[in-house]
Amino acid sequence: MNKLILAAAAAALAMLASGANAQAVRIATEGAYAPWNFLDEAGKPAGLDVDVGTEACKRAALDCTFQVNAWDSIIPNLVAGNYDVIIAGMSVTDERKASIDFTDEYFPPDPARYMVRAGTVLDFDNLSGKNIGVQGGTIHAAYATEHFGASNTVKSFDNADQALADLNAGNVDVILADGNYITEVVAGSGGALEKVGPELVIGGGVAMGLRKADDELEGKLNAALAEMKKDGTLDALIIKWFPDKVGPIYAGG
């Protein structure tokens, strides 16, 4: 009996020591882009990004904490060392790769979509004189400015909810954003909003952002993501937050 007690105590101490020695990792998310990330009723970060990050940290034996940071400064504050990882529904682009590194993707490329008030008809081949709402600092803002900025007004907002409020108020004519976000908003609008126009593949897949010097941390997270893809955990998390997605997405790969 004494040997069993000693063995159990030794195991408990080993677990405590392991937890105490776990690498502390600070993760930033936006907290304003459901279902990717948002603040729940208790004011805590939730959504796909948080679930993916929590599971990856568990598998990589990392001691992770989440914090909220505004989108327009989320990359500069990573580079400045205010946190270690970005998990915020961020698409991989060449422009972003110039300043930070990315893990392997945890969500495939998400085509962008346009959203308007129900009954609005737009000719995207000859769009002129319209107010286009986008979230500032996103791939959608860059695309709208490049393709429509000469003959339309591109209005940038701090977050997607602000753009949505202006669309509902009639201050913008159309919003360009991630297709999954648009689908979620339209489904919950009671018919007041609708998707229009073509799908646009603008960026790459969605991945975690890290400082360029953090190769070891990137390796740990990539290993965890690979496990999550292979055993179906990542598919399950994606479908939890995006029920319209049909598997397999990554499972078995």
Give the model confidence (pLDDT) of 139-155 as tens digits. 999 999 999 999 999 99
Mean pLDDT of 24-42: 98
**Amino acid letter, 48:** L
Mean pLDDT of 105-117: 96
- Count the helix, strand and coil residues of the chain and give each as a percent rounded to the nearest 5: 40, 25, 40
Residue 91 has pLDDT above 90, yes or no: yes
Query: Which strands, in side-by-side order, build the sheet including 32-33?
Result: 32-33, 37-39, 45-46
Gap between the Cα atoms of 214 and 222, Å rounded: 12
Residue pair 114/147 in contact (Cβ under 8 Å)? The answer is no
The class that CATH gives domain 112-200 is alpha beta
Return the pLDDT at 215.
98
Gap between the Cα atoms of 152 and 224, Å rounded: 44
48-59 vs 215-230: helix crossing angle, rounded to 10: 100
Mean pLDDT of 181-198: 96
Q: Is the pTM of this model over 0.75?
A: yes
Break the chain into its structural domains and give their ranges.
2-108+205-241, 112-200
Residue 132 has pLDDT above 60, yes or no: yes
Residue 26 has pLDDT above 90, yes or no: yes
Q: Do domains 2-108+205-241 and 112-200 have the same CATH topology?
A: yes
Structure tokens at 127: 């769009």
Return the pLDDT at 3.
53
Give the side-chain half-sphere CA count within 13 A for 63: 9
> Per residue in 200-216, pLDDT tens?
999 899 999 999 999 99
CATH number of this structure's domain 2-108+205-241, picked from the four choices 3.40.1530.20, 3.40.50.620, 2.70.170.10, 3.40.190.10 = 3.40.190.10
Percent pLDDT > 90 in the chain is 87
Residue 165 has pLDDT above 90, yes or no: yes
Mean pLDDT of 83-87: 99
Mean pLDDT of the chain: 93
Residue 17 has pLDDT above 50, yes or no: no
Q: Please say whether the dihedral angle defined by the alpha carbons of residues 103, 29, 146 and 106, taken in this order, is positive or negative.
A: positive
Structure tokens at 82: 């205010």
Return the pLDDT at 21.
79
Q: What are phi and psi of 120, to 5 degrees?
A: -75, 130
Return the pLDDT at 229.
98
